Copies of this chain bind each other. A is one copy, B any other.
């Protein structure tokens, strides 16, 4: 049974804090293993990739090659279901259009003292994209990571994907081709992350690594961070739905299940002001579970991490929502717009009764890589800016230096950094 909380209960705050603090993932301590793998790839390069792929994926890279060829990609495209391929193409085009609007503008101006100021955005020179193999292979995630990188202008996007027992999902390769990925390598795990960060004979190093992965991949990303940039380390997915009794309980139940089917550690939360509606959603959910292919996963997630919170009114839901800082927030209430304006912390907001989160996962155009585990309090979903960096620009004329110099000299002295002051005063003959 999912947790039931009620803001009217005298111990609500305590219970809510305990709920917020509950961990959904056992942290696997794989750091030692991962460190050894990374060091080995640094030392032995391609040969280490061959050995680990033999061991973990049971494939011989000496036979099939580390790099996936254009012929293989073309063959994969032919194997794809045309309907899925068409949907993928629509998704790619919408993601591209959406993310183009995120392209930042350079800025430059001259102030009253004649100081020229500004900044310039440039794309990261090379980005690595990790794509999980096996059951968690999601072509939509390939698009969500690679398309913004290409919109940002990244000249080289190198993808790694493991092929356990030689198997690769054709639609994953098709998505990579569609997104304009430049290179694809048949490696996975910590060894693939190490190869992207440090390079091997076959794989040139990149400057940033993005994309989801298991505990080993996450640990490897943490380890190489600093040498290269990384995106966030994603936790299990979550949805919070605010719904009133005018919502359809079957629809709300379907949305809660769409989250729960991801992972036994996924989390679906309903906040409503109507106890009877809550009961109706729960009943609908139990019914829908019975015919769901991934019903066991969804049932475990809902049982262990699901929650229904009863509020007096939706104003009470605002601070609760900000504290939960959900990755996905659906608002299916009469006054949805008013609530949207009051909420600070959410990765993405899906407004109204006809906006199921799955649309955002696939075809809306917005990014589905979003901050999990309350990190929407301080971070954003993936976007074009994650593939660019800003350089500030400054130029002073002799006059501008004369005007600004004395303040810099004073601060240098105050901080005990005399050489700082001198680098200014020497130019002013002071």
Contact = CB atoms under 8 A, between A and B. Distances in A.
A11 B363 CA distance: 52
B226 A418 contact: no
A394 B422 contact: no
Given A83-B410, A411-B140, A367 B347 contact: no
Interface string A72-98: 000000000101101110110000011
A245 interface: no
Contact of A417 (B123, B262, B371, B394): B262
Interface string A337-369: 000100011111111101111111111111100
Contacts of A261: 417-420
A140 B413 CA distance: 12
Interface in A76-135: 81, 83-84, 86-88, 90-91, 97-98, 101-102, 107, 109, 111, 115-117, 119, 122-125, 135
A201 to B, nearest CB: 15
A375 B227 CA distance: 8
A90 to B, nearest CB: 5
A414 interface: yes
Contacts of A376: 389, 391
A393 B423 contact: no
Given A378-B124, A390-B381, A362 B411 contact: yes
Interface residues of A, number: 119
A168 interface: no
A257 B391 contact: no
Interface string A396-420: 1110110011111011111111111
Interface of A: 81, 83-84, 86-88, 90-91, 97-98, 101-102, 107, 109, 111, 115-117, 119, 122-125, 135, 138-140, 171, 207-208, 226, 228-229, 233, 250-251, 254-255, 257-258, 260-262, 288, 292-294, 298, 322, 340, 344-352, 354-367, 370-371, 373, 375-381, 383, 385, 389-398, 400-401, 404-408, 410-424, 426-427
Given A135-B416, A208-B378, A364-B404, 17 more contacts: A84-B411, A87-B414, A117-B365, A208-B377, A228-B378, A251-B423, A251-B427, A261-B418, A292-B419, A348-B394, A351-B393, A354-B398, A358-B421, A358-B424, A361-B411, A362-B407, A362-B411
